[in-house]
A and B are shown apart, each in its own frame.
Chain A
Amino acid sequence: MPSPETRVGQPLISLRDVHLSFGSNRVLKGIDLDVQRGQAVSIIGPSGSGKSTILRCITGLLPTERGSIRVGDTDVHALKSEAQRIELRKRVGFVFQQYNLFPHLSVLENLVIAPRKVLGETATNAEKHARELLAKVRMEHKADAYPGQLSGGQQQRVAIARALAMRPELILFDEVTSALDPETVGEVLTVIRELTEEGMTCVLVTHEMRFAEDISDVVYFTENGLIVEHGSPEHIFQRPTNERTQTFLRHALGDAGRRPVASGDPFLLSNISRYSLSV
């Protein structure tokens, strides 16, 4: 895998001045973002700051209003036809917060259906590849189970394997651990960590600050549809220059956890701010 420096001139993903509104709600107000091939890039920031919207724009699930998005040689903002968007999405994997597996298909069928229908792989090859990927995410024993029978963490690992089954150049992770309980978060993060170590280009929207700090090459902090600050994890997490970043991280990185435990009524949810909620 080439080191990020050798390809600095040619990022795999490049967003310039991207704008998007939902009605009168301006969600993105000029986003600039670069991802080099092989990098892991995290986007952090408060809920509703446009993080997930950025990912959806990259893979053409949402149209941009202004600005440019380039993925490899594809100008995403200029894609007109369904066929062009399909070509883009073959190269870009997407993992959702709510897993979004197909509930009427078994785990194996979930992995096989897109390579078979979209890439035209043979049943034998697609299934062989699918079983390898299931082993990679440690879900091979559940190949014949249905999504409804799996825990959240298991479903999310299958969803990652499903994205990998298309042999994508990069994968976008949209708050993939936000719906999971703290115990199962770890099993999903381990899988993502392994992917980044293998050199897969990953863009993560996440509320897992420690994880983002640990695995990212670059971290972006967004608020109100703008990139407030970006840089290396050390820069963002240890020496953030922007005041807003500092406040956000102070709250996100366990400041709330240090609050004294309520001594009064144990049924009073005085420590509710320790739980980060995301929608």
Chain B
Amino acid sequence: MTDLLELFVQAAAKFGLNYGFLLDAYQRGSLVNGAITTIALCAFTIVGSLLAGLALAAMLTSGRPWFARPARVFIEVTRNTPTLVQLYCAFLVLNMLLTQAVGAANPLTPFAWVVIVISLHKGAFHAEALRAGIEAVPRVTLEAASSLAFSRRQLLWNVQLPLAMRFALPSLINNLIDLVKMTAVASAIAVGDITYASIMIWTQSDNVLELMILLLAFFGLLSFVVNCVGRALEAKLRMPGYGH
């Protein structure tokens, strides 16, 4: 492993890039930890945002104004303000108020705040994608299910959601790829993700370009994985005779 690294460092040096810091156990360790933190952030926010999106979409399409109205207001506020500002507000204002109220018992770490804020932010986008999917299910298909004596719940789980999911999938994958890149805002409140780890290293040594390349490659790879999973899911759920 270290042999490979040394080979890489030597090869990069020929292009004038100094990746020497990778051979330093401490700096390498903080980068690896940062990468793991970013992956964990992605995993938590992907699940969290999908749950938030599902809940919001359910409220939007419930047909009940006292569910749909608040969901609509929340979505408009959330998607029309910058994530970074939301994160600052949440961490610097809400978290401070919480700490004042309960003191050291405040269970919410900076990591948790990032998960919450991004989940809700992307959840708003998922909700709109899911709403589009739900509304794209032809009314007559639902009528057919009703005529077969399906209950509302059976209709929802066996016909409406499976179809809505297929219609919404490309948009959802789009949102998730954006979400992966969005986790970089965690560095703004000193969550030790890969961006924060990189900043810490380049403030001490002159290797900004090398770390930038590394960061871009890492996020590119992560997004690519999400993209591949999404495409595989689309292929698996494809309805023969629809699309191409």
Contacts and interface: CB of A to CB of B under 8 A. Distances in A.
A166 interface: yes
B239 A146 contact: yes
A189 interface: no
Interface string A82-110: 11001101101110101011111000000
B158 A113 contact: yes
A117 interface: yes
Given A146-B239, A148-B242, A102 B147 contact: no
Contacts, number: 76
Nearest to A59: B147
Interface in B147-189: 147-152, 154, 158-159, 162-163, 166
A82 B155 CA distance: 12
B237 to A, nearest CB: 8
A61 interface: yes
- The winner among B141, B149, B150 for most chain A CB atoms within 10 A is B149
Contact of A114 (B150, B163, B166): B150
A173 to B, nearest CB: 12
B149 A148 contact: no
A82 B152 contact: yes
Given A89-B149, A102-B159, A114-B150, A94 B242 contact: no
* Residues of A contacting B: mostly: mixed
Contacts of A145: 240
Contacts of A94: 144, 147-148
A89 B237 CA distance: 30
A89 B6 CA distance: 73
Given A59-B147, A94-B144, A103-B163, A118 B154 contact: yes
A82 B149 contact: no
A118 B148 contact: yes
Given A146-B241, A149-B240, A166-B149, A117 B158 contact: yes
A162 interface: yes
Contacts of A148: 239-242
A153 interface: no
Contacts of B162: 104
A117 B239 contact: no
A61 B143 contact: yes
Given A90-B149, A118-B149, A100 B154 contact: no
Nearest to A62: B143
A104 B149 CA distance: 19
A94 B16 CA distance: 74
Nearest to B150: A118
A146 B166 CA distance: 15
Contact of A82 (B151, B158, B240): B151
B106 interface: no
Interface in A137-189: 145-150, 162-163, 166
Contacts of A163: 148
Interface string A191-210: 00000000000000000000
Contact of A89 (B147, B152, B241): B147
Contacts of A166: 148-149
B239 A103 contact: yes
B140 A89 contact: no
A22 to B, nearest CB: 14
B150 A117 contact: yes
Interface in A107-141: 113-114, 117-118
Interface in B70-87: none
A146 B240 contact: yes
B146 A89 contact: yes
Contacts of B154: 117-118
- The winner among B145, B147, B154, B237 for most chain A CB atoms within 10 A is B147
A148 B162 CA distance: 16
Contacts of A98: 140
Given A104-B166, A113-B158, A146-B241, A96 B148 contact: no
Nearest to A150: B241
A103 B154 CA distance: 16
Interface of A: 59, 61, 82-83, 86-87, 89-90, 92-94, 96, 98, 100-104, 113-114, 117-118, 145-150, 162-163, 166
Given A146-B241, A149-B241, 16 more contacts: A59-B147, A86-B150, A94-B148, A100-B140, A102-B141, A102-B159, A103-B241, A104-B237, A114-B150, A117-B154, A118-B149, A148-B241, A148-B242, A150-B241, A162-B148, A163-B148
Interface of B: 138, 140-141, 143-152, 154, 158-159, 162-163, 166, 237, 239-242
Q: What 7 pairs between A and B have smallest CB-CB spacing?
A: A148-B241, A100-B144, A94-B147, A89-B149, A146-B240, A114-B148, A90-B149
